[in-house]
Amino acid sequence: MQSTTRDFKDNVKKAIVEPGLQKALGMMKTGFQVRRLAAIEKLPEFEQLRDQARDIKNHVLENLDFYLERFERKVTEAGGKVHWCRTADEAREAILGICRGVGARTVTKGKSMIAEEIALNDFLEEKGIEPIETDLGEYIIQLRREPPSHIIAPAIHLNKTDVIDAFQKAHTHLDPDRPMEEPTTLLEEARGVLRPKFLAADVGITGANFMIAETGSTIIVTNEGNGDLTQILPKAHVVLASLEKLVPTFEDAATILRLLARSATGQEFSVYTTVSTGPRRPGDLDGPEEFHVVLLDNGRTNILGTEFQEMLRCIRCSACLNHCPVYATVGGHAYGWVYPGPMGAVLTPTLIGIEEAGHLPNASTFCGRCESVCPMRIPLPKMMRHWREREFERHLSPASVRAGLAFWAWFAKRPRLYRLATGMAARLLGLFGRANGRYGWLPLASGWTKGRDFPAPEGKTFMNQWAKREKAS
């Protein structure tokens, strides 16, 4: 997917005045948070589970080679095949090879962020293969030809009228005057359209929430059951996953599953938790003839052993998005690439480069809410700060910011001069602001004063007053 991350500030300007988006964001703001809180309040061991989950993933990341090889061996033993892909390009080619191998004309897809990361749909279309998204939200945004704006709720930026509009344009075989006001009617309509596509698809592509090293199994969680139809009905099932989805055992997956849905939607468990192990065996009632795992690195191993390694614990639950006040203000598309919100602010620069994604780790108040809800205890603000350090070291931060900072730091390191400077500033600002108590405009602070007043200082610094008081006593 083409990044517009460089244009973050412009994206923001558009997002904050877009009434449809703001309405949709307003609706999501409380829902996820309230439901998550209700779910974890019923689970006294939630905090211990977070520790366990963190430790499991840390262990995997420390022993990634061992578990990857074990996973491959088990997949092969079960009759499947693992495709090792260093880059997005290699992953796309591997999938194309599988599709060509079974003569695929249509491909159904379960929800997969990795497919977004490698821009799979565009690629398949170019090659004459029709990809069909089967998750309702993904289906809607596919019709609108736009990327997801949220990891687990890809169409969260839309309102009902947008969906009606998209269905009217796409489902031209249906009566244009049909009733569409009820959400259930829209759901039925999507089901009706998708059902024959499930049956006709030659290849089904899903992501993976977990890959289990001990058995070579993969797990997906869904609420719509679309993933099951995607992977069972076609001739070949392709699991497209990045390598950090690995866990050693089923028990480990079960531990993390107890955190996943609660953190994401506030459900105790997703409606469907589906395990796949190899292709259909003799005697199985259903299942694909071929089972492929396309394992993508795409820069992830580069951050092993760095200050960003902990990011690879992420399970894509979206709790950080759901609790981020910046995400809630600008929505997911403003971030300009696949992964929005706090997790995206850390991950995106590792995948597309800090030159491209420099805004993202800066566009945070460091309020810390993301870290406080992250089920995997990923220190997101700390890692955003590490990105800022790298930007600073490489002189990538804006010249005006650097100049201002250098000016201020020069004084902050020289207490006597600092005292003189602050004394003067307090007097000046206090003098001119005295009449109103605040400024409606200030030089160099127009960003602040455009939408806010700037309170005037009292007039004398504390330190000067204190020194006088000490002298007098």
Partner 1 sequence: MPASSPRVGLFVTCLVDLMRPSVGFAAVKLLENAGCRVEVPATQTCCGQPAYNSGDRGDTRDIARGMIEAFTGFDYVVVPSGSCAGMIHEHYPALFADEPETLAKARELAACTHELVSFLVDVMKVERVEAAYRGTVTYHDSCSGLRELKIKKQPRQLLGSVSGLTLKELPGAEICCGFGGTFCVKYPDISERMAAEKADDIGATGADTLLAGDMGCLMNMAGKLHRKGSPVRVRHVAEVLAGITDAPPIGEPKA
Binding residues for partner 1, rule: CB under 8 A, are: 9, 12-13, 16, 325-326, 329-330, 362-369, 371-372, 385, 387-393, 397, 401, 405-406, 408-409, 411-413, 415, 418-419, 422, 425-426, 434-438, 440, 445, 447-448, 450-458, 460-463, 465-467
Closer by beta carbon to partner 1, 86 or else 438? 438
**Cβ atoms of 146 and 333 closer than 8 Å:** yes
Grouping H, G, I as helix, E, B as strand and the rest as coil, residue 286 is coil
Least distance (Å) between residue 455 CB and partner 1: 3
For partner 1, the closer of residues 106 and 309 by Cβ is 309
Q: Which residue lies nearer to partner 1 by CB, 121 or 461?
A: 461
Quote the CA–CA distance of 201 and 132 in Å, as a whole number.
Answer: 9
Two tokens, residue 144: 């609108």
Nearer to partner 1 (CB atom), residue 66 or residue 448:
448
Closest CB 203 distance from partner 1, rounded Å: 42
Instruction: Give least dist CB 454 to partner 1, A.
Output: 6
Distance CA(381)–CA(387), nearest Å, equals 10
Q: For partner 1, give the closer residue by CB, 13 or 169.
A: 13
Provide, rounded to whole angstroms, the least separation between the CB of residue 360 and partner 1.
11
Edge-first strand order for the sheet with 203-206 is 81-85, 290-296, 236-242, 203-206, 106-109, 130-133
Q: What value, to the nearest 5°, has the Cα angle with vertex 350 and ends 63 and 356?
A: 170
| 162 vs 307, beta carbon nearer partner 1 | 307
Smallest distance, partner 1 to C-beta of residue 394, A: 10
CB 310 to partner 1: min, Å: 15
Confirm if 338 and 16 have CB atoms less than 8 A apart: no
What angle is formed at CA 122 by the lines to CA 118 and CA 127, rounded to 5 degrees?
Answer: 110
Decide whether 285 or 406 has the Cβ nearer to partner 1.
406
Contacts 24+ apart (CB under 8 A), 366-374: 367/325, 369/323, 369/324, 369/325, 370/319, 370/320, 370/323, 370/324, 370/341, 370/342, 370/343, 371/320, 372/323, 373/36, 373/263, 373/319, 373/320, 373/322, 373/323, 374/263, 374/319, 374/320
Q: Which is nearer to partner 1, 275 or 417 (CB)?
A: 417
Amino acid at 346: V
Give the N- to C-terminal CA distance of the chain in Å, as an integer.
69
Minimum distance between the CB of residue 47 and partner 1, rounded to whole angstroms?
14
* Least CB distance to partner 1 at residue 116 (A): 24
* Nearest-angstrom CA–CA distance, 235 and 227: 15
